[in-house]
Amino acid sequence: MAGQHLPVPRLEGVSREQFMQHLYPQRKPLVLEGIDLGPCTSKWTVDYLSQVGGKKEVKIHVAAVAQMDFISKNFVYRPYGISSFGWFDDVADIRKQFPLLKGDIKFPEFFKEEQFFSSVFRISSPGLQLWTHYDVMDNLLIQVTGKKRVVLFSPRDAQYLYLKGTKSEVLNIDNPDLAKYPLFSKARRYECSLEAGDVLFIPALWFHNVISEEFGVGVNIFWKHLPSECYDKTDTYGNKDPTAASRAAQILDRALKTLAELPEEYRDFYARRMVLHIQDKAYSKNSE
């Protein structure tokens, strides 16, 4: 049975109180319209950014194909001046790295300042597709200029996405190789289109695949949904799993090595018992 194709809900004029009290607790993606983002949506042209950014060096991803693959690394990182446009990902705070742009953009006040982790300035070439992945922090994707198509998958469907770490092996999500990835057809697909001024809320752990339909500028804002002590203090880029999850994965690896000491028939039986135990003790009982 093919997975469901569902639209991401869109709401206009959402206040901070509405978002925090009613929408945020649902932990589902949402497109917010009519948010006051400042003059960036009209000012951030190529010429303007080239003048304001000058020759400031940033790192960009350079790829020969539009469909970028983090697993096979079909791209390279290169230093560029901001006046030379490609797709770049400079993980930090745009307000500090590009102070002349600070007054142009207003961050939606949907989280406390002490929860803020980073803001990522993204300039995307037309047709570029970013691999399906999840982030460990909550995320607002602000589409400042241009258009994007975003496809999302629920964390509950992780078993259908053929994961390697935080990334999915399935690159062509619109026409997947179901002979190679048969379970992918069971994943529920949420989709939305973003235009200038739209803001997409992506909760932590939701998988997302981003396709730039035309040249555009965006800003990702990441913040901590969990208490600060839950995150890896050495995590510079905000992409390491919470410390408890990392410890659990290490314990599981040790358990699997211990199971390997048994003959195949016994190993299979006790592995299945472990899976059932995990499902019983750790899976959420709440239906999505």
Q: Rounded to the nearest 5 degrees, what angle is found at the Cα of 109, between the Cα atoms of 140 and 123?
A: 35
Q: For 125-177, how does the pLDDT look when each residue is reduced to its tens digit (9 = 90+)?
A: 888 898 999 999 999 999 999 999 999 999 999 999 999 988 999 999 999 99
Helices (H) and strands (E) in the chain, counts: 6, 16
Q: Are residues 67 and 200 in the same domain?
A: yes
Judgement on whether residues 23 and 146 belong to the same structural domain of the protein: yes
Tell me if 119 sits within 8 A of 91, measured CB to CB: no
In this structure, the answer to whether residues 135 and 180 fall within a common structural domain is: yes
Task: Give pLDDT, residue 235.
Answer: 86
d(CA 273, CA 136): 29
* Domain boundaries, position 252: 243-282
Tell me the three state secondary structure of residue 131. strand
197 and 84 share one domain: yes
What is each CA distance from 32 to 10, 15, 100, 108, in whole angstroms?
A: 6, 10, 26, 10
Q: Under the phi-then-psi rule, with left for phi > 0, alpha for psi from -120 to 50, and beta for the rest, what region is 51?
A: alpha
Residue 185 lies in a domain: yes
- Check: CB of residue 48 under 8 Å from CB of residue 115: no
Q: Is the pLDDT of residue 1 over 60?
A: no
For residue 217, tell me if it sits in a domain: yes
| DSSP letter (8 states) at residue 241 | P
Same-domain check for residues 259 and 183: no
Per-residue pLDDT tens for 251-275? Answer: 999 999 999 999 999 999 999 999 9
CATH number at residue 37: 2.60.120.650
Strand 199-202's sheet: what is its strand order?
10-12, 30-33, 199-202, 138-145, 216-223, 116-124, 87-92, 57-63, 75-81
My answer on whether 216 and 250 are in the same domain is no
C-alpha torsion angle, residues 242, 247, 252, 257 (rounded to 10)? 140
Report the domain count for the chain. Answer: 2
In this prediction, residues 77-97 reach a mean pLDDT of 56
Question: Is the residue at 238 inside a domain?
Answer: no
Average pLDDT for the chain: 88
Question: Contact 60/91 with Cβ under 8 angstroms?
Answer: no
Going by the DSSP 8-state scheme, the letter that residue 67 receives in this structure is B
Residue 41: inside a domain: yes
- According to DSSP H, which parts of the chain are helical? 16-18, 40-43, 46-53, 94-97, 243-259, 264-282
Predicted confidence at residue 181, as pLDDT, reads 97
The pLDDT value given to residue 199: 98
Q: How many CB atoms neighbour CB 267 within 10 A?
A: 15
Q: Tokens 């649902």 — which residue?
A: 26
Whether residue 40 has pLDDT greater than 90: yes
Give dist(CA 288, CA 284) in Å, integer: 10
Q: Which of 49, 13, 32 minimizes the C-alpha distance to 122?
A: 49
Please indicate, yes or no, whether residues 197 and 260 belong to a single structural domain of this protein: no
Are 81 and 151 part of one and the same domain? yes
Is residue 112 predicted with pLDDT exceeding 80?
Answer: yes
| Coil vs helix vs strand at 143 | strand
